[in-house]
């Protein structure tokens, strides 16, 4: 009896001792640093492979933005978003929803802050100061088709939400957005894209430096066109940028859209000390067969679909001359 009691006491003491030392052992194991693998080892390579970099906006709009509903979306944000429809360029505006019906060849439908803006009736769209909204159109006044915009040429998008900006003018009752296009392409572009439903897109864009001197671009001339990086702080610059785009897409509908879009862009950009001068010309043409919707009763009756479905054509040509005496502080702070 005594022996059994003694063994039980010893066993209990050992269990209490282990229980009391376990937190210390765990703390020592946690506090003990793991050995650092040598530089160049596979462990270091695996650790660096999973690295995620988060980039925040550093735009300082103090003294520029007059309300909290005004802002800018820059180049990095635009590059990181896949663009399946041309209207998705405007979906970078917080709270703006873009939808599409009856095919790609017409203007999108816009929704902002719960308002149905139709095809742009109450949402003004501009491209480097040029109004995109049409004053009269069969789809309603303010029709804004942005299929002429080439995404790779967009440097930033300025947006304005709410009826607080009367200077913008017509169709801006619910808000507005303005595309700012590159004056100097960061790099030349040649793109070929293929996809399902007979999707094909080709794009060629290039900046040719005709003359440059002073500042960071000192000594450059037309032979340096192979390196079209932006020439910051140049005192004298003459550059020409051109872009050609073609798109073909039949869409996911039962009736093939046979959508074809042609875009052309030409810009002459000049700098003389602090003065800038821009001359821009654009041309856009497209056609598509609208998949549309027909009443089921008509379909069952065997009526010829050609009566209900029609082809559509779109086109736009514009030119703009923009002299700017002095360098705008707004543009410098947003770059």
Cα(162)–Cα(158) distance, integer angstroms: 14
How many domains does one find in the chain? 2
Q: What is the pLDDT of residue 290?
A: 77
Say how far apart CA 238 and CA 277 lie, in whole Å: 10
pLDDT at 279: 94
One domain for residues 158 and 287: no
pLDDT, average across residues 132-160: 89
**Residue 242, pLDDT above cutoff 90:** yes
Q: State whether 320 and 206 are in the same domain.
A: yes
Integer Cα distance of 294 and 253 in angstroms: 13
Residues 196 and 256 placed together within one structural domain of the fold:
yes
Cβ 147 vs Cβ 314: under 8 Å:
yes
pLDDT digit string, tens, across residues 11-51? 545 445 445 544 444 444 444 555 555 655 555 555 566 77
Question: Looking at per-residue confidence, does 180 or 165 come out higher?
Answer: 180
Residues 222 and 262 grouped into a single domain:
yes
Please indicate, yes or no, whether residues 224 and 166 belong to a single structural domain of this protein.
Answer: no
Expressed as residue numbers, the domain containing 236 is: 189-334
Residues 141 and 233 in one domain: no
Question: In terms of domains, do 254 and 214 share one?
Answer: yes
Half-sphere exposure (CA, 13 Å, Cβ side) for 225? 14
pLDDT one-digit tens code per residue, 185-196: 999 999 999 999
CATH no. for residue 82? Answer: 2.170.130.10
The torsion angles phi and psi of 134, rounded to 5 degrees, stand at: -90, 135
CB 290 within 8 A of CB 312: yes
Compute the distance between CA of residue 49 and CA of residue 329 in angstroms, rounded to an integer.
40
- What pTM does this model have? 0.71
Q: In sequence order, which residues have a C-beta less than 8 Å from that of residue 85 and are 6 or more positions away? A: 98, 100, 104, 108
Instruction: Identify the H or E element spanning 330.
Output: helix 329-334
- What pLDDT is recorded for position 137? 80
Find the distance separating the first CA and the last CA of the chain, reported in whole Å: 89
In this structure, is residue 112 part of a structural domain? yes
CA 130 to chain centre: 19
What confidence tier does 256 reach under pLDDT thresholds 50, 70, 90? Answer: confident
**Within a domain: residue 57?**
no
Return the pLDDT at 225. 44
Q: What are phi and psi of 331, to 5 degrees?
A: -65, -40
Q: Tokens 């942005």 map to which residue? A: 146
Domain match, 112 and 199 both: no
Work out the pLDDT band at 293, boundaries 50, 70, 90: low
Mean pLDDT for the chain?
76
| CA–CA separation, 218 and 205 (whole Å) | 24
């Amino acid at each position: 009896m005594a022996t059994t009691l003694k063994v039980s006491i010893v066993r209990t003491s050992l269990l209490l001792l282990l229980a009391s030392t376990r937190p210390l052992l765990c703390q020592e194991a946690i506090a003990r640093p793991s050995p650092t693998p040598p530089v160049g080892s596979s462990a270091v390579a695996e650790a660096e492979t999973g690295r995620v970099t988060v980039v925040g906006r550093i735009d300082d709009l103090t003294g520029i933005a007059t309300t909290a509903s005004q802002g800018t979306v820059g180049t990095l944000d635009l590059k990181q978003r896949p663009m399946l429809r041309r209207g998705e360029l405007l979906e970078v505006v917080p709270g703006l929803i873009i939808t599409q019906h009856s095919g790609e060849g017409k203007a999108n439908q816009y929704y902002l802050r719960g308002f149905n803006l139709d095809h742009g009736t109450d949402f003004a769209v501009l491209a480097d100061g040029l109004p995109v909204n049409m004053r009269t159109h069969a789809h309603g006044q303010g029709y804004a088709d942005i299929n002429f915009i080439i995404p790779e040429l967009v440097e930033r998008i300025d947006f304005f939400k709410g009826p607080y900006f009367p200077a913008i003018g017509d169709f801006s009752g619910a808000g507005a957005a303005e595309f700012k296009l590159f004056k100097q392409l960061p790099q030349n572009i040649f793109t070929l894209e293929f996809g399902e439903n007979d999707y094909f897109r080709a794009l060629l864009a290039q900046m040719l430096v005709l003359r440059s001197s002073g500042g960071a671009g000192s000594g450059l001339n037309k032979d340096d066109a192979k390196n079209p990086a932006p020439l910051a702080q140049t005192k004298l610059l003459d550059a020409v940028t051109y872009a050609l785009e073609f798109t073909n897409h039949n869409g996911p509908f039962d009736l093939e859209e046979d959508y074809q879009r042609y875009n052309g862009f030409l810009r002459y950009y000049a700098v003389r000390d602090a003065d800038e001068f821009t001359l821009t010309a654009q041309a856009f043409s497209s056609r598509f067969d609208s998949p549309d919707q027909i009443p089921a009763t008509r379909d069952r009756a065997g009526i010829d679909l050609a009566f209900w479905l029609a082809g559509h054509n779109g086109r736009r040509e514009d030119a703009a001359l923009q002299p700017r005496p002095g360098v705008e502080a707004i543009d410098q702070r947003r770059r």
